[in-house]
Homo-oligomer: A and B are copies of this chain.
Amino acid sequence: MERQTGGPEIEQMIALLSRVQGLGPRSARRAALQLIKRKDVLLVPLISAMKNVVDNIEQCRQCGNMDTVNPCSICADERRDKSLVCVVEEVSDLWALERAGVAKAQYHVLGGTLSPIDGRGPEDLNIASLLERVKDGEVKEVLLALNATVEGQSTVHYISDLLKGCDITISRLAHGVPVGGELDYLDDGTLATAITQRKII
């Protein structure tokens, strides 16, 4: 246990900061000192920004996205293609796809993947609400944009099995060499997939 310096208030703040992703115990300590040193320009604004988020952000009742409006601005956006639903694991994946800026689609956030080891079954994910959305009729295609991990892919299989009865297209993301990637640095699985799923040019 490290010695307390600066009193329990600072220690409490450091302890919580160290649980933030990307910060460890040491960097949390450094961050805390920086925040205190720049109290008026950084710490106080950050507190009010965080409070704003706590007070205003809620989960979209349709897709599970986080937004200040409900349904979220993506679900409410009339210019979006309502016939394509991208199913993602987490809100961060939704944001990543939005940043890429390709899919003018709607989303559905599962809230994780199936994981028997961690005791996460279908009832712990937003799968029932996905089936409801699909049965509503407007959806023509479900793109299962889950991570290319074992758990992500088994969730893809599970959901595509569930959706087989419905009259819709089910798709998944393409696997292969990342754009800008060098073959020498890629794992064998990716290379094998890139070869077996090669495209005729």
Binding site for B on A (CB under 8 A): 2-3, 5-10, 12-13, 16-17, 19-23, 27-37, 39, 42-47, 49-54, 56-57, 65-69, 72-74, 90-92, 94-95, 98-99, 101
Contacts and interface: CB of A to CB of B under 8 A. Distances in A.
The 10 closest A-B pairs by CB, nearest first: A22-B27, A7-B68, A13-B49, A16-B46, A12-B49, A9-B52, A21-B34, A5-B95, A5-B98, A20-B31
Contact of A50 (B5, B13, B66): B13
A14 to B, nearest CB: 9
Number of copies: 2
Contacts of A49: 9, 12-13, 16
A47 B51 contact: yes
Contacts of A67: 6-7
Given A5-B98, A21-B27, A29-B95, A50 B47 contact: yes
A165 to B, nearest CB: 32
Nearest to A97: B5
Contacts of A94: 5
A161 B176 CA distance: 66
Contact of A31 (B3, B23, B39, B51): B23
A194 to B, nearest CB: 26
B13 A52 contact: yes
